[in-house]
Amino acid sequence: MSSSPSLNTWSDALSGFSIGWFPLGLVIVAVIPLVFIALYALTYGVYGERKISAFMQDRLGPMEVGFWGILQTLADILKLLQKEDIVPTAADKFLFVIGPGILFVGSFLAFAVLPFGPAFIGADLNVGLFYAVGIVAIEVVGILAAGWGSNNKWALYGAVRSVAQIVSYEIPASIALLCAAMLAGTLSMQQITVMQTGPGGFMHWFLFNNPIAWLPFLIYFISSLAETNRAPFDIPEAESELVAGYFTEYSGMKFAVIFLAEYGSMFMVSAVLAVAFLGGWASPLPNIGGLHLNDMTSGPAWGAFWIIMKGFFFIFVQMWLRWTLPRLRVDQLMYLCWKVLTPFALIAFVLTAVWEIYR
């Protein structure tokens, strides 16, 4: 692992690969995050969510299919594939069909700028962090299309609540990420990660190498829960009030696509959090004396391992919180966003600026 290839040598070689005029490599590069979301959401996401929620409630969860129910999600997929594709008669056919598509595209567009290790990043944009925050806007339109197209009052209420929530929480989330951008002095995701690497391991991460970063870290984590509609901010899909929110009318593969989009954006916000404050693909282990733990656990493959593990850790925390905290009311949600998180995000912004100038 000592020889580390320069950034994107692999992916550049791949994207340059083409058969005749057809750029096959470009298509493959775009498919990688798609396959990743699908695999992770199907295996870790759904199975993990069910197992974790089962253990938190002192149950066993799925146990029938395979050892400890490990093939349960495959069985679910077979079921979802076989299901009849129902479009309600009163629904707006076009919007009903296109809604999940826009939602899914919106949720996985941000994967383009996630750095998976020192040697792989989809697109090392110089506005990467801004792009990752901003591209969520497309997801919002998909939610509205799904909610309106269903022609169901619960679905419409769910969609409107969800969009209001996502648009509001984008503000504290963006300000919190701006603090990380200020600490790094760049918006490129790869550069932000590189700024947090070093022989000290976790001590170089923004969360630990300055006294302020815990505040934007917490603010972004809370806002990211709201942006992905996770509990305690699952008001848009509150089962006890709205049946299932904006995807009430969906079944079969369309439901699966919405589900994949949700798990995709859960991983995305977790990975952005890891990149902004926890060193992205940087190894947490420090070099201790003659024991070069950090050097041993760095490199392209280890980098991918670390960022995926950090992402999974925060997904675990999201699931953990789901079974710990009760759901907020709508007014409490808006109170939290506008009167607590936004002012504190601004304070964190000013404090970070002062720290950057006077340290």
| Residue 43 · residue 76 · CB < 8 Å | no
Residue among 1, 5, 13, 18 that touches other proteins (CB under 8 A) = 18
* Contact positions with other proteins (CB under 8 A) in 107-136: 125-127, 130-131, 133-136
DSSP 92: -
Phi–psi pair at 97, nearest 5 degrees: -80, -40
- Check residue 102 for interaction with other proteins (CB under 8 A): yes
Segment contacting other proteins (CB under 8 A): 16-24, 114-122, 211-219, 247-255?
A: 16-24
As a whole number of angstroms, the distance between CA 17 and CA 188 comes to 26
Comparing CA positions, the residue from 278, 276, 263, 277 lying closest to residue 309 is 278
Nearer CB in complex with other proteins: 215/337: 337
- Check residue 261 for interaction with other proteins (CB under 8 A): no
As a whole number of angstroms, the distance between CA 103 and CA 140 comes to 7
- Closest approach, Cβ 75 to other proteins, in A, equals 36
| Residue 279 · residue 204 · CB < 8 Å | yes
- Closest approach, Cβ 113 to other proteins, in A, equals 10
Nearer CB in complex with other proteins: 1/127: 127
**Chain position carrying tokens 């593969």:** 253
Nearer CB in complex with other proteins: 24/60: 24
As a whole number of angstroms, the distance between CA 350 and CA 344 comes to 10
Which amino acid, residue 166? I
- Residues facing 121 on adjacent strands: 115
- Check residue 92 for interaction with other proteins (CB under 8 A): yes
As a whole number of angstroms, the distance between CA 172 and CA 340 comes to 10
Query: Does the N-terminal peptide bond of residue 118 adopt cis geometry, omega within 30 degrees of 0?
Result: no
Nearer CB in complex with other proteins: 188/248: 188
Nearer CB in complex with other proteins: 7/98: 98
- Check residue 95 for interaction with other proteins (CB under 8 A): yes
Residue among 28, 80, 87, 160 that touches other proteins (CB under 8 A) = 160
- Check residue 338 for interaction with other proteins (CB under 8 A): no
As a whole number of angstroms, the distance between CA 172 and CA 216 comes to 9
Nearer CB in complex with other proteins: 114/163: 163
- Check residue 97 for interaction with other proteins (CB under 8 A): no
- Binding marks (x or -) toward other proteins, 131..150, rule CB under 8 A? x-xxxxxx-xx--xx--x--
- Check residue 278 for interaction with other proteins (CB under 8 A): no
As a whole number of angstroms, the distance between CA 57 and CA 243 comes to 22
- Binding marks (x or -) toward other proteins, 280..319, rule CB under 8 A? ----------------------------------------
- Closest approach, Cβ 126 to other proteins, in A, equals 4
- Proportion of the chain in helix, strand, coil states, percent, rounded to 5: 70, 0, 30
| Residue 256 · residue 163 · CB < 8 Å | no
As a whole number of angstroms, the distance between CA 112 and CA 30 comes to 8
As a whole number of angstroms, the distance between CA 236 and CA 247 comes to 10
Residue among 4, 7, 14, 26 that touches other proteins (CB under 8 A) = 26
For 45, 76, 214, 254, 350, the CA distances from 83, given in Å and listed in that order, are: 21, 11, 46, 10, 53
- Binding marks (x or -) toward other proteins, 165..194, rule CB under 8 A? --x--x---------------xxx------
User: How many residues lie near other proteins (CB under 8 A)?
Assistant: 35
Nearer CB in complex with other proteins: 80/160: 160
- Check residue 15 for interaction with other proteins (CB under 8 A): yes
Which amino acid, residue 293? L
Nearer CB in complex with other proteins: 186/251: 186
- Closest approach, Cβ 348 to other proteins, in A, equals 20
